[in-house]
Structure 1
């Protein structure tokens, strides 16, 4: 559907929802309330909604714990010793990987550090890291402290990519040029797959290829990309990646992370890593002997026992993802975000009160649009919340709105636009 086919009307939005083959998934989530009114929830890029089956999935494991106790590790449905395997098919589909290349474990920031142990090995000649300026704070702090751990100066080691003057997003050509210009000293390219502030999706395939030509390793933080945009990590040749499960994957606040390690590293048992017994050869794990033997694939990066309760909440959402399918979710996402973009343009007109700083090209964005509010700013955002619109505010003047295809509707987008229009007239 083209922008010219969209209409700023309630009838159009209702008709789109009636024709939506994915509309039934909305009923499978709980929606919060603001002052007693059901929210129009556009904050899945920070915390996804709770599936109605989550309590059931968690209760099942609580019952297993109550009835089986320690025997639950080896007996009963989904014995805990192998419970990590249940999430692998869905995770592999979501990130475009083989099942042995992914595993759910830890949390995102921990995983970034553990993966850096393996994939950032600076030498006297190769030590530099390329990342995007204004990365999410966890990434900035992680890179800074990893570099200091190797007795290096972050200011001399970390190269931050910045948009051109007067622009908000990075040009792929500038990223690739920077990689090429630093290839003799480059050890690692590590950046977000989707920039959290602007909503820009980077060309991960091109960046990975350029990084490898330069002789560097390449990894991505997919916190805002996993479950949101198409990913093909295996085919792109990405060395490593990690993500959280509580944003688009709707698995609960602070819940379990996941990692990807390309299979070419699976046969490298001597690759440096911080090991734990859950990453040790499964067949010999209970021998309790010295000498770490990593499991094949991403499983070899595990440290401790699987968090069974966390995985249960995760699985409640992953089962919905497998039923919905990433291709269908992406199709709806493009339509929904396209409609939001159209309505914003209609509201803005020639006044130029708001500016969409997320790329217009659908291949360079997910479902998030970042709105730079030139007049009214925080007052506009607060007015939206008072009308039960839940988005999020990023200083100094950006509102992030993310219509999520699993549970948002065209009517949600229309109603948001009407309230935004009123707020802009009031404060801008």
Structure 2
């Protein structure tokens, strides 16, 4: 069938999808008319896996039946519960199980990582970030620089796209590392840029940073569950991610963290310490001499909220049912490729796609701007939302659309473009 802009074509693609059954593992929100929403907002908050609800209810039941004994009883006792997530996290980010841990929230983890890996000196005090970093990352970096008595105007290197461009070029990132590397203590960049959806070449950035003596870390908020990674093999020093976007673990859910194993036995590495990072064998001796575990767990402070971890376990088990991140990436490429084709065919002059076309540099998200005189992106966004689409808007003028491979379909992409085309036509009338 040659006409890709037809519902029949989209439905045929869905029928041929080897993981189409995974959509049934999620609860899809309904419109007021009872029909399912066209939910394309997994880059902001993923939908609820049915296993997440089941596992949370299991722990509520354990709490009701066992009280404090639930820490040591049942198939999933609470004391080691975070360990039940290690294999799933390791598979997602390309790590060893001892290099990952579920703890805190994303920005808190970035701060804790900078305690260990941002150690400014008079000669080496800069942090390289992007000019359009997610605001929380910018705030965290700026506050860490100030905490150490440095001046952000001198110690923050802000990477900007070239004039007239929306995304950063690899050569410009590497040139900035070459130029500032000798005075840089830390490089902190995203795995996937939140605004444009650009995937960063983490391997090359890490290699270049280490060659100049810098520590290198990544914010994987929009990368975890979206693209395959190999953090261990790339020798990334640390990374942190939230679990409520492509990992579908619920609003504000506990975050994940990676620390490369080469740092685990470094007794001189500074850190903010807490009870949960202490050696497990002697933790309950209640002695006031901190002995860090030789794993990413050493950066834990307190016992984590079990109900949130249960939701994450449900999400990770759903990823496993789908065949893992590589199978999800295959479908994601197909979905996003199809969505881009529809947009280019049906709205060639009305929509600009900021996200790079080269699939090496793009994930599930496409960031769109509207080129319609007299109508801005927010006006169009409001119109498509009223017509059953859930995506999101980022100022000043970007509509972010993310077909998540676990629960989105080719038909979702078809209907989105149909509704978007209608909204633009009505705005232009």
Return the TM-score normalized by structure 2: 0.97
SS at match of 1:80: coil
Residue number in structure 2 paired with 1:11: 8
Contact 1:374-1:397 within 8 A present in 2 as well:
no
For structure 1, which segment, 74-83 or 295-304, has the greater mean C-alpha deviation from structure 2 after superposition? 74-83
Aligned-residue offset at 1:34: 3.1
Residue number in structure 2 paired with 1:330: 329
Residue number in structure 2 paired with 1:359: 356
SS at match of 1:355: strand
Q: Is the alpha carbon distance of 1:86 and 1:412 closer, same or farther for their aligned partners in structure 2, counting shifts above 3 Å?
A: same
SS at match of 1:269: coil
For each residue in 1:67-97, what CA deviation from the matched residue of structure 2 results, as whole angstroms up to 9, or x when unmatched? 2111111222211111111001110000000
Residue number in structure 2 paired with 1:211: 209
Residue number in structure 2 paired with 1:167: 165
For each residue in 1:34-70, what CA deviation from the matched residue of structure 2 results, as whole angstroms up to 9, or x when unmatched? 3333210000000000012222111111111112111
Residue number in structure 2 paired with 1:242: 240
For structure 1, which segment, 372-381 or 400-409, has the greater mean C-alpha deviation from structure 2 after superposition? 372-381
User: What pairs up with 1:25-424 in 2 under 5 angstroms?
Assistant: 25-36=22-33, 37-324=35-322, 325-349=324-348, 352-375=349-372, 376=375, 377-424=377-424
Aligned-residue offset at 1:267: 1.1
Aligned-residue offset at 1:6: 7.1
SS at match of 1:282: coil
Aligned-residue offset at 1:5: 6.9
Return the TM-score normalized by structure 1: 0.97
SS at match of 1:81: coil
Partner Cα distance (2:399, 2:31) in 1: 18
SS at match of 2:357: coil
SS at match of 1:184: helix
Where structure 2 has 5 or more consecutive residues not aligned to the other structure, the ranges are none
Partner Cα distance (1:302, 1:5) in 2: 54
Contact 1:355-1:372 within 8 A present in 2 as well:
yes
Residues paired across the two proteins, number: 423
Aligned-residue offset at 1:380: 1.1
Q: Is the alpha carbon distance of 1:214 and 1:71 closer, same or farther for their aligned partners in structure 2, counting shifts above 3 Å?
A: same
Contact 2:189-2:217 within 8 A present in 1 as well:
yes
Aligned-residue offset at 1:278: 0.3
Asked if 1:426 is matched to 2:426, the reply is yes
Where structure 1 has 5 or more consecutive residues not aligned to the other structure, the ranges are none
Contact 1:130-1:160 within 8 A present in 2 as well:
yes
Tell me which stretches of 4 or more aligned residues in structure 1 moved more than 6 Å: none
